[in-house]
A and B are shown apart, each in its own frame.
Chain A
Amino acid sequence: MAAEPRPIGPEPNHARRFGAIWVIATLIATPLVVVLVGPILPPGNGSEQAAGHVTDNTVLLAMATPVLLLVLIYLIYASIYFRQPRGGALEGPPVRGNSRVQSTWIVVTSLLVLSLAIYGTVRLESDYGAGSGSGPNPLTVPSGPKLPVQVIAQQWAFTYRYPTYGGVETPHLVLPVNQMIELHVTSLDVIHSFWAYQLGVKADANPHVDNVAFVKPTKLQTFNIRCAELCGIWHGEMSDLGHVVSGPAFNTWIHQQVVAFAPATKVLPPYSTTYLPEPTRRGE
């Protein structure tokens, strides 16, 4: 390297060599990432939506891997081969651009980005919001029977109302398996966010807003619920456990709840998509 006077003379064909390294690395790494990392990506297969997220995350990772390798291998390659020799004062070639490389780059990145956006949109809308909070009137709504469950957030706990069971409100979230759930997330004070980790559900709880998310649990399990939006000092403690149980077990449980909370249900305000408590100003 050090002996070369100017870099314009015969040098190894860097473009071909670098390209070959990158292609080989991509061909090896991308399937490995899909096979090895894909299955352990969050949030698991607790629901149709969660399983969809795993697929999405795997696809995105598979698309990101060649880009990551391209730049990474380039940085290493350039650090090795395009160095100034020790004590040298050589100038590089006075190249100010290459329209073919530039236009290829623009076309390829644009295609990548467009395909990402189309993929994301199709996945989002075909999966009824993919477990995310989709506002009061979601664009796509699953057909068939749905179990509505209201999630009411307040500082610093979640409670749950089942409007089809007399509007009973309980501090526990139990859901039947293989049943489309229609979550209505709202808040009584500040902004919270209902995050059912294993179900792939996250929906902000805004005061006076009905934020709907659809989820279909597919696995009997206990799942973690956390608040994902800073809501004051006990934000970190605002967590809960939910349960996905079989259909009959759910029926038994909900009827127990209806009986147990009957005195409370009588004095609750009637079921509504949002509640507007007294405006809480400091000091009032």
Chain B
Amino acid sequence: MSTTTAAAPSHPDPTRRPLWRRLIGFNLLTAVLLGVGGYYLGWWLGHQVNGGKSFEYQAASDENDVALLLAYVFGVVGFLIGLGFANYPLSRLLGRPASLREKEHEGIGRYFGLCTDHKVVGIQYLVGIGVFFFVGGLNAMLIRTELLHPTPTVVGPNQYLSLVGMHGTMMMGMMTSGVLGPFANYFVPIMIGARRMAFPRIEALTFWLLMAAGFILTSTIFFGGFPTGWTGYEPLNDQAVMGMDSYIIFFTLVGISMALLGLNMMATIITMRAPGLSWGRLPIFVWSVFATSILMVLAAPMLIATLSMAALDRTISTSFFVTGGGGSSYLFENLFWFFGHPEVYVLALPGFGIVLELLPVFTRKPLWGYKLAVSGMLGVTLLSFFVWQHHLFVSGINADLRPFYMLSTEIISIPTGFIFMCFMGTMWRARTTFTVPMLFCMGWAFNFLLGGLSGVFLSDTPSDTDTHGSFFVMAHFHYTIMGGLIFTFFAGIYYWVPKMTGLRFNERMAKWHFWLMFVAFNSTFLPLFVLGMKGMPRRVSEYAPNLQGLNTWVSISAFVLGFSMLIFLFNTVYSLIFVRRPAASNPWGSKSIEWQIPTPVPVNNFEQIPTFDSDPYDYGTQPSIGGAEPATAGA
């Protein structure tokens, strides 16, 4: 095992330095300064190098894609250097001793910089992603405000499309790491009995890349927004104003972050499992993280490549996707969905993992059908690379292959069905306690059921002819992603945050949050199926006047849904900042190893690497602790 050394860093404790000394150095302040500096350097350079035909146009209209793209790239590089990401490689290059682990012993400051402790990164992710989740949610509220009326009222059509694009891109981009970022980073090393991730510095890099990406996407409003939605289809992409470059850089950074995160997870899970933790004893959550990581590593590079080509089309007038120049808009659709479909399973799979991980704890039964659950996840992983053209059933691309994509799409419901079977099997004759995390798991089952069954209509080409590109699709993927991922995201928050912080949530408010969110969610998205069937296309701010009644209903429900998020936010601030009631050391009676070690978890997790002699689902036999037996429990 590579985790036997626990050499504490030898540098002096930095928290004792005076304030002025702490402000100088590699920290968030430096990072922001260098980021802004890099941004303006890139902007200036872009204006120097950009010539030729497009220059005339750009001079006339103050549009310079080269400058903006360079500004973003230089800004991100400056930001990362400022955080200290260049220190380690530079020290190694110069033959100086490099700091192996960064900021792990600092106080609260370690949350505001490059920290290689996986637990700190997990909490950074939770807060960082949470912020952008709320920004994306706010966009949705504005979209629904506009849709209260069948003609543009609150925002113009251009701003409306920007809102739609920002909402979709923010959610699809930031929330890809919604579970893997906070929960996998925090708990996978613990669950497999390791002291750290395989590549701690890369782990921190994935987080800070994502944060930079989030700010870049938000900055699109200063450059006119982008009109393409999250899919960024060409040639509309090529036609769009500079705000499109924000989208391109955002998704490229997200792609890099995803690929690195996946790679890191795979390396950790493959190489750093504690003695006795065979593949057959791995917690099911770790399996779902592993499956998701495979998807991330294989799919994300496609996105990076595609968007790089789009950026070249926009700047130096290549013609990958421009029909008039010999390119093809089909190429973009093909490449994008080859990434895009695995991407939606990147969002769904960690949800499966959380649900099946939590279920045994609250039903007091072993996970029913462990092997089936694993094969279900791996089956989804494999099949998700063979279905992408079902997004293009009416596009005319490879029309003769549609029966194949119909078949492959419908086949993917078999491994997804395994997850449901394991869910139902585990609940069979169980002793279920309906705690808040369990309620969210039940919510997942209901929502994902409706999401999956509505997918049957979309996978059938004749039926899809009516529903493609309509609100029906929109309702379908909100049921699978919001109903699937976000519900399990909250299940994870209510389940694990007491471990991460040592504090407990107010349960009454948490239950209010669940019920309001569940009812409002269904009240928002069920009518959207009807709206889609009645012929309302996606991404429009103008619609037929006879659909206004239903749209008003949906908007009001959406506001209630938004309000339920405010309850959560209030509960978080109230319980975790003001009241601060300490959580029990194992409030759920879980047999999983993360609940057997002290809270807060020590920097090195375990004094001695634990050994495992079973999976963590040893419920229903005896009340004593089974599963993992950490050598230093309670130490």
Closest Cβ of chain A: how far from B558's Cβ, in Å? 19
Instruction: Give how many A residues have a beta carbon under 8 Å from the other chain's beta carbons.
Output: 105
Do A64 and B456 have beta carbons less than 8 Å apart? Answer: yes
> 0/1 per residue, B466-509, Cβ < 8 Å to A?
10111000000000000000000000000000000000000000
Do A110 and B414 have beta carbons less than 8 Å apart? Answer: yes
Contacts of A234 in B (CB 8 A): 157
The residue in chain B whose Cβ has the minimal distance to the Cβ of A276 is: B324
B522: CB under 8 A from chain A? no
Contacts of A95 in B (CB 8 A): 365-366, 368, 425, 428-429, 620
A123: CB under 8 A from chain B? yes
What separation, in Å, do the CA atoms of A250 and B63 have in the docked complex?
49
What separation, in Å, do the CA atoms of A226 and B621 have in the docked complex?
61
B548: CB under 8 A from chain A? no
Do B462 and A127 have beta carbons less than 8 Å apart? Answer: yes
Do B324 and A193 have beta carbons less than 8 Å apart? Answer: no
Do B424 and A53 have beta carbons less than 8 Å apart? Answer: no
Do A236 and B540 have beta carbons less than 8 Å apart? Answer: yes
Contacts of B511 in A (CB 8 A): none
Do A42 and B239 have beta carbons less than 8 Å apart? Answer: no
Do B238 and A135 have beta carbons less than 8 Å apart? Answer: no
When the two chains form the complex, which single residue of B61, B427, B535, B540 contacts A283, counting CB atoms closer than 8 Å? B61
Contacts of B470 in A (CB 8 A): 228
Q: Which of A18-50 contact B (CB under 8 A)?
A: 41-43, 49
Contacts of B406 in A (CB 8 A): 117, 120-121, 124
The residue in chain A whose Cβ has the minimal distance to the Cβ of B362 is: A84
Closest Cβ of chain A: how far from B578's Cβ, in Å? 30
Do A96 and B367 have beta carbons less than 8 Å apart? Answer: yes
B131: CB under 8 A from chain A? no
Contacts of A264 in B (CB 8 A): none
Do A191 and B236 have beta carbons less than 8 Å apart? Answer: yes
When the two chains form the complex, which single residue of A75, A130, A190, A224 contacts B465, counting CB atoms closer than 8 Å? A130
Contacts of B410 in A (CB 8 A): 113, 116-117, 120
Do A276 and B323 have beta carbons less than 8 Å apart? Answer: yes
What separation, in Å, do the CA atoms of A11 and B319 have in the docked complex?
70
Q: Which of A56-113 contact B (CB under 8 A)?
A: 56-57, 60, 63-64, 67-68, 71-72, 74-75, 78-79, 82-85, 88-98, 101-102, 105-106, 109-110, 113
Contacts of A78 in B (CB 8 A): 424, 427-428, 430, 432
Closest Cβ of chain B: how far from A45's Cβ, in Å? 13
Do A124 and B394 have beta carbons less than 8 Å apart? Answer: no
Do B366 and A94 have beta carbons less than 8 Å apart? Answer: yes
What separation, in Å, do the CA atoms of A210 and B424 have in the docked complex?
48
What separation, in Å, do the CA atoms of A120 and B403 have in the docked complex?
8
Do B236 and A82 have beta carbons less than 8 Å apart? Answer: no
B56: CB under 8 A from chain A? yes
What separation, in Å, do the CA atoms of A83 and B543 have in the docked complex?
47
B91: CB under 8 A from chain A? no
A145: CB under 8 A from chain B? no
Do A120 and B461 have beta carbons less than 8 Å apart? Answer: yes
B518: CB under 8 A from chain A? no
B542: CB under 8 A from chain A? yes
Do A52 and B403 have beta carbons less than 8 Å apart? Answer: no
A197: CB under 8 A from chain B? yes
Do A277 and B324 have beta carbons less than 8 Å apart? Answer: yes
Do B449 and A52 have beta carbons less than 8 Å apart? Answer: no
Do B465 and A200 have beta carbons less than 8 Å apart? Answer: yes
When the two chains form the complex, which single residue of B238, B413, B534 contacts A282, counting CB atoms closer than 8 Å? B238
Closest Cβ of chain A: how far from B280's Cβ, in Å? 12
A262: CB under 8 A from chain B? no
18 residue pairs A–B, Cβ–Cβ below 8 Å? A42-B466, A56-B463, A64-B456, A91-B621, A94-B618, A94-B619, A97-B368, A120-B403, A132-B465, A134-B399, A135-B399, A206-B395, A206-B396, A208-B328, A237-B157, A279-B319, A280-B239, A283-B58
